[in-house]
Amino acid sequence: MSRYEDKEAAVRRLLDTPHPPVPGHLAGTAAERGSRLLRRHRAVRRAAWTLFALALLAFVLWASVAQPWEAPAAETTPPFDGL
Amino acid sequence: MAEQRNGPRAERAHRTREFDAFVAGAAGRLLHTATLLTAETRTRNPYAQTLLTAALAHTYAVWERLRDEDPYELTRRDLAARFARTAWRHHGGRGGVLSALLPQERLVVVLRLYEGVAEEQVAALLGLPEARVRAVHARAVATLRAGRDSTGKPAGRTAA
């Protein structure tokens, strides 16, 4: 075993002390905050999807009215020197 | 505790039960890790508790989406990332065994030696090159040994 590994093992022993006591409310608080986080994420996701659907609807309506794929009507009429 | 089979509420109760079981098993070790990171003492570790609560809340929020992922590993990763983000607040030690180290050195030492995370994973987690992680680790180990030697403890060779 090298000198360095020796030192590492000593530090590892230094860290390996008894665990601190866990306060009883920790799991409950974490679950409470977690479910609040989850609700918020869901609300944000729902809002984003709603916004997306509205934008899509607006685009479809606009496109069906404006029909931008149609060639625009000629602005000028070619001269017609009748007969 | 009546079993309720009405959709979201039953689902939530189920999740809470699973989560509580996980916390009961893992919280002691995770709190120890957090306390080492914040360099607080075993009996007085408010920052460590705050960090761990936030990390566990995140784990709870993604509980349904955990597929093959280990919740312990996920929580540890979140804890480490959270500590890295807020480390400037935990700069000075508060009496823990790693008080002599800088926050980043504590992170590397705890992840490598206490949690046994591989060097490349620590590097990825902290967004550092592997060589840098190795250097920080070596420096931290040297600092700790020097601290021990100077406080009159026997030098490394004799401690078996």
In this structure, are residues B38 and B99 in contact, taking their beta carbons and an 8 Å threshold?
no
In this structure, are residues B132 and B122 in contact, taking their beta carbons and an 8 Å threshold?
no
- The per-residue pLDDT for range A39-82, each reduced to its tens digit, is 999 999 999 999 999 999 999 999 999 888 888 877 777 777 76
What's the complex ipTM? 0.74
- Closest Cα in chain A, distance from residue B88 (Å): 22
**Tokens 């022993």 sit on residue:** A13
pLDDT band per the 50, 70, 90 thresholds, residue A83:
low
Q: Enumerate domains of chain B plus CATH numbers.
A: 9-150 (1.20.140.160)
What average pLDDT does the structure give for chain B?
84
A43 touches chain B (CB under 8 A): no
**Tokens 């093992």 sit on residue:** A9
pLDDT at B93: 65
What number of C-beta contacts closer than 8 Å exist between A and B? 107
- The per-residue pLDDT for range B7-42, each reduced to its tens digit, is 788 888 888 899 999 999 999 999 999 999 988 888
Burial of B99 (0-12, 13-18, 19+ CB in 10 A): middle
**Tokens 């030492």 sit on residue:** B109
pTM for the full predicted model: 0.78
Q: Which of A3, A8, A15, A36 to mutate to test the interface with B (most CBs of B within 10 A)?
A: A15
Q: Tokens for B110?
A: 């705890």
pLDDT band per the 50, 70, 90 thresholds, residue B6:
low
- For Cα atoms B123, B127, B133, give the angle at the middle one, nearest 5 degrees: 35
Side chain identity at residue A20, one-letter code: P
